[in-house]
């Protein structure tokens, strides 16, 4: 069967909608990760662990809107809370009590967060955390990890998806993501190798006088949810403190790993943390929070050093959905979900061994990634050296099996995942490789 023939035959309405969408939206899309070739299926509805497309095909979903739906889709309590709120107004021009509750929940769960502010996307969360670090330190440069994604604003759009051939050998490189980025942006963003404390120490020490912050994901999403080494992350904390550089954790995705996020697992306390995804229960959300002395720069009861506005910030629909989600995200639910993640990674490794497939399985807790390489995955370059065609083929083959993953074959579990769904994914992968389609 030719590539995706089954998919194309079963998705005529999506194919038509894609052509319609292309008339008005570039490539028919508003979102980088929504598109894949030959065209994405269009969603009719989602429920529980599944997505149903406009042609009635049902997919077991391990994408969960980029890890957002930690309770599965259309969780009843979340939906009811949102419906109740909708009857009382969608957004207000003055604050609603719900923002206090969600802020309190997050501050209580994440001890490094003494104060927090809400936005409507993780992009705005990292943007404001970086802005705060610059204002607080009076320095302008920032450091980020080569290959790390922190949203789509200018200062984090450096060395995110750079192809291997454009990176200097033995040296991390700051490369603009698209034409027309001001040269000053690239000059002001230093790119660091993940998990390499020695090089990091050298670059940070050389630039300490100008560096406001280092922003990093404790578990790097773009690398198949690769957890940082413990010593490296703890070393980075010591180093940034010593050099007067603020440490920002981007926990937009990794917050779902523990009640207190990945920082609880690592026992590392950042100065600021950016949030998104699960904390809004499926409604548009972002946030950043951290030390009082930094967050007070935004305090409107004094003369704020930084003003921060946003028509829909802390809107009650998002706050309500976030509260209803976090209420169900207890330590025991998280533990069970994370332990199923361990099972999944173990079973995937066994299948690849059994079928002699050269592969690495990365991830932690409820997050996982698959790479086709015999090299240990430690950083961006080791990810790029893997076989990206094989990943793309696996994504497509899974789609034909009725399973949805991220196009880079990473994914997430939710609290509805049981051994049945884990085995569904593992068995599908066994079938695909046993057929030799790969």
Ligand X SMILES: Cc1ncc(COP(=O)(O)O)c(C=O)c1O
Binding mask 234-253 for ligand X (x = CB under 6 A): ----------------x-xx
Interface residue with ligand X among 28, 122, 281, 424 (CB under 6 A) is: 122
Catalytic site residue from 39, 59, 69, 149 = 149
Contact 137, 213 (CB under 8 A): yes
**What is the nearest approach in angstroms of ligand X to the Cβ of residue 51?**
18
Cβ nearer to ligand X, comparing 217 with 264: 217
Q: Which stretch binds ligand X (CB under 6 A): 102-110, 148-156, 192-200, 427-435?
A: 148-156
Interface residue with ligand X among 188, 217, 264, 401 (CB under 6 A) is: 217
d(CA 354, CA 258): 32
In three-state secondary structure terms, 22 is: helix
The token pair at 15 is: 């194919």
Q: From the centroid of its chain, how far is CA 250?
A: 9
What part of residues 378-407 is at the interface with ligand X (CB under 6 A)? none
Contact 261, 268 (CB under 8 A): no
First to last CA, the chain: 13
What part of residues 50-69 is at the interface with ligand X (CB under 6 A)? 66
Interface residue with ligand X among 39, 62, 69, 149 (CB under 6 A) is: 149
H helix runs in 110-251, sequence order = 122-137, 183-188, 197-207, 230-243
* Residue 263 interacts with ligand X (CB under 6 A): yes or no: no
Any idea what DSSP says for residue 92? -
Catalytic site residue from 139, 141, 144, 277 = 277
* Residue 221 interacts with ligand X (CB under 6 A): yes or no: yes
d(CA 374, CA 108): 42
Torsional class of 5: left (φ above 0), alpha (ψ -120 to 50), beta (otherwise): alpha
Cβ nearer to ligand X, comparing 115 with 153: 153
23 is catalytic: no
**What is the nearest approach in angstroms of ligand X to the Cβ of residue 254?**
8
Cβ nearer to ligand X, comparing 103 with 219: 219
45 is catalytic: no
Interface residue with ligand X among 75, 99, 123, 172 (CB under 6 A) is: 123
d(CA 360, CA 352): 9
**What is the nearest approach in angstroms of ligand X to the Cβ of residue 251?**
8
CA dihedral in degrees (250, 374, 65, 13; nearest 10)? 150
Cβ nearer to ligand X, comparing 276 with 282: 276
Contact 147, 222 (CB under 8 A): yes
155 is catalytic: no
What part of residues 267-286 is at the interface with ligand X (CB under 6 A)? 276, 286
**What is the nearest approach in angstroms of ligand X to the Cβ of residue 33?**
8
Helix (H), strand (E) at residue 322: helix 316-328
* Residue 126 interacts with ligand X (CB under 6 A): yes or no: yes
Cβ nearer to ligand X, comparing 253 with 313: 253
Residue nearest to ligand X (CB): 122
CA atoms within 13 A on the CB side of 285: 35
* Residue 151 interacts with ligand X (CB under 6 A): yes or no: yes
Interface residue with ligand X among 49, 131, 150, 347 (CB under 6 A) is: 150
Q: Give the interface size with ligand X as a residue count (CB under 6 A).
A: 15
The token pair at 428 is: 């599908």
Contact 146, 192 (CB under 8 A): yes
Q: How many helices (H) and strands (E) does the chain have?
A: 16, 16
Which residues are catalytic, by number? 149, 250, 277
Residues near ligand X (CB under 6 A): 66, 121-123, 126, 149-151, 217, 221, 250, 252-253, 276, 286
């Amino acid at each position: 069967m030719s590539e995706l023939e089954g998919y194309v035959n079963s998705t005529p309405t999506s194919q038509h909608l894609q052509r319609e969408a292309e008339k008005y939206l570039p490539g028919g899309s508003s979102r980088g990760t929504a598109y894949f070739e030959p065209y994405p299926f269009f969603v009719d509805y989602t429920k529980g662990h599944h997505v149903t497309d406009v042609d009635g095909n049902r997919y077991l979903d391990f994408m969960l809107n980029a890890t957002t739906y930690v309770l599965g889709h259309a969780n009843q309590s979340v939906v009811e809370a949102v419906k109740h709120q909708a009857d009382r107004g969608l957004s207000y021009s003055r604050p609603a009590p719900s923002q206090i509750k969600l802020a309190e929940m997050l501050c209580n769960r994440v001890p490094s967060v003494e104060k927090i502010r809400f936005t409507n996307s993780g992009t705005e969360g990292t943007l404001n955390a970086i802005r705060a670090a610059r204002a607080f330190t009076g320095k302008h440069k920032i450091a980020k990890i080569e290959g790390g994604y922190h949203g789509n604003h200018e200062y984090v759009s450096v060395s995110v998806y750079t192809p291997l051939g454009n990176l200097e050998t033995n040296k991390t490189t700051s490369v603009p993501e698209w034409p027309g980025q001001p040269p000053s942006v690239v000059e002001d963003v230093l790119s660091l190798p993940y998990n390499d404390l020695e090089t990091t120490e050298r670059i940070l020490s050389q630039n300490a006088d100008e560096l406001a912050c280092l922003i990093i994901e404790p578990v790097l999403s773009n690398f198949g949810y690769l957890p940082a080494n413990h010593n490296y992350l703890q070393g980075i904390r010591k180093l940034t403190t010593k050099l007067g550089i603020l440490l920002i954790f981007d926990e937009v995705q990794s917050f779902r790993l523990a009640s207190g996020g990945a920082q609880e697992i690592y026992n590392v306390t950042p100065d600021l943390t950016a949030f998104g995804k699960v904390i809004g229960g499926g409604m548009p959300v972002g946030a950043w929070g951290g030390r009082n002395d930094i967050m007070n720069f935004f305090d409107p009861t004094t003369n704020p050093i930084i003003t921060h506005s946003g028509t829909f910030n802390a809107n009650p629909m998002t706050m309500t959905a976030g509260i209803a989600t976090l209420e169900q995200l207890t330590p025991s639910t998280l533990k069970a979900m994370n332990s199923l993640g361990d099972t999944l990674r173990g079973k995937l490794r066994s299948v690849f061994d059994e079928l002699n497939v050269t592969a690495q399985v990365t991830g932690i807790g409820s997050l996982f990634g698959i790479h086709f390489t015999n090299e240990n995955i430690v950083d961006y370059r080791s990810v790029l050296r893997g076989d990206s065609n094989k990943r793309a083929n696996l994504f497509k083959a899974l789609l034909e099996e009725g399973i949805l993953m991220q196009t880079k074959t990473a994914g997430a579990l939710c609290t509805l995942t049981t051994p049945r769904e884990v085995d569904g994914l593992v068995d599908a992968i066994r079938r695909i490789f046993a057929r030799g389609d790969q």
